[in-house]
Amino acid sequence: MIKRLGGCIASLMTALLIAAAPSLAPSLACAGTLEQAVARGLARHPDIQVAQAEVSQATIELQMAGNGRLPVVSASSGPVASGVAYDVTVAQPLYDWGQTRSVIDQKRALLAQQQANLEVVRDDVALQIVEAWLDIVNDRTQLSLLDDHLKRLGEVSAMANARVEGRYADQSEAGRVNLAVATAEGTRARLQGDLEDALGRYALLVDEPAEGLHLPAVPPTVLESVAEDGALDAAIAGSPLYRKAALGVQVADAGVREANAARFPRLNLEGGVQRREIGGQLVNDSSIGVRFRLASQQGLSAQQRPELERQRREAARFAAEAEARDLKRTVGTLIRSDASTAARIGALADQAAQAGAVRDLYGEQFLVGRRDIQDLVIMQTEQFEAERQKVDLVIERLRLQYRAAAQLGLLTPMMTGDQMQTPGEHP
């Protein structure tokens, strides 16, 4: 049912909006695209730059962790009474019970986690730009509809004033029209304020004027693709939000293995040369051999650390499960909202058409004295409200698609032209 409704309505989204506001149509040929705006915003947003720096930091930490396999060099030197003494020691790790491997695995998982976080941040920024774009289109379209509504009310007002001047009616008829006009002007002020806010957000995110904005020619169909059996679970498993949480389990698991290995002494091949003062004379000495080295331990902390890390692993596992549940609930809600919104769009389209027909009929009946001004005002207002709500829902349905794409990590690839992942797949 969801897929059938989505298929029927998705192809009509842009047509419905342009039909509701014909003044937007000429701007389509010269306007920039939503994808271009998103790409521009992604290139300059500071949150993305922070996330990229964190990825670079994690990369260096992984490279440094690999140095655990290399020799450890320590050296000291200083003057003594009879000259200069020194001590140089080189230790090559031979066996460490998997401690170095565990540290490397942990840093590798942290790097993957930061990369997933970068994807999350990029999708969040892209969604902010998309939301601002849709807000501007919505507010401008609503204002265009309102201009047409006020024009029609002006025609009704002229008829009411003519009736008052001809003494066919009293001032109450003109007062009813003036009340409707005042209400519409109040709506205009609210919409203008919303538009200014959206323009400010867009300028901050994209750093360019919001000229010629329009709806995408091909609306996304993310919700339809994940509404199939099993598709949502696969999409969640591949989403960066879930991968970020799941990688926390890998980080904690590597911490458990590192803590277990740290309880045992390392086996090193050590060699050293030294020159030290003995009995007032500087004596040269050297040594080489295999030795066990145990890290400094305070009390029973080395024995307690593995249990601490195991508890962290359990917490990370529960956090990953909670993230999966939250994603399933959020996207599931979007799927259900999409179906109901599609049905409401169809109903409002019929309502707007019927209201327009009744309004025209009332106009004809008014000319022969079978209707009064109040009837014309009511039907004009109902027709305007139906058109306004229809436009609002068409854009709201687009929002649902883009929000679902952001939740599943598909928004940035979809906007930047990268190869779009199918739900559940991740390179």
Q: Is residue 284 part of a domain?
A: no
* Domain assignment of residue 115, yes or no: yes
Give pLDDT tens digits for 286-311.
889 999 888 777 777 778 889 999 99
In a domain? residue 84: no
The Cα-based distances of 48 to 20, 111, 114, 137, 376 in angstroms read 37, 16, 12, 26, 54
Q: Note whether residue 168 is domain-resident.
A: yes
Instruction: Report how many domains make up the chain.
Output: 1
How many whole angstroms separate alpha carbon 213 and alpha carbon 37? 10
The owner of tokens 């962790």 is 65
Residue 73: per-residue pLDDT: 92
User: Which of 196, 49, 22 is closest to 125 using CA atoms?
Assistant: 49
Amino acid symbol at 199: L
Q: What CATH number did the domain enclosing 372 receive? A: 1.20.1600.10
Helical ranges in 211-300 per DSSP H:
222-226, 231-238, 240-261
Radius of gyration of the chain (CA): 35
Pseudo-torsion of CA 386, 388, 390, 394, nearest 10°?
A: 180
pLDDT for residue 125: 97
- Transcribe 132-181 into DSSP letters: HHHHHHHHHHHHHHHHHHHHHHHHHHHHHHHHHHTTSS-HHHHHHHHHHH
In a domain, 323, yes or no: yes
Q: What is the pTM of this model?
A: 0.83
For helices 373-407 and 99-165, what crossing angle results, to 10°? Answer: 170
How far is the C-alpha of 257 from the C-alpha of 103, rounded, in Å?
9
pLDDT at residue 171, as a whole number? 67
Model pLDDT, residue 260: 92
Assess if residue 406 is contained within a domain. Answer: yes
Q: Report whether 269 contacts 92 (CB < 8 A).
A: yes
Query: 388: closest CA among 343, 355, 340?
Result: 355
Q: In what order do the strands lie in the sheet with 83-95?
A: 72-80, 83-95, 266-278, 281-293
Instruction: Return the structure tokens found at 179.
Output: 């009340």
State the Cα–Cα distance between residues 312 and 253, nearest whole angstrom: 9
> Which stretches of the chain score pLDDT less than 70?
1-31, 163-171, 368-369, 418-427
Quick one: CA torsion of 176, 177, 183, 186, rounded to 10 degrees? -140
Residue 270 lies in a domain: no
Q: Which residues, at least 6 apart from 409, have a Cβ–Cβ distance to it below 8 Å? A: 119, 120, 123, 238, 239, 240, 241, 421, 426
Range of the domain at 324: 2-77+94-257+312-416
The reply to whether 98 falls in a domain is yes
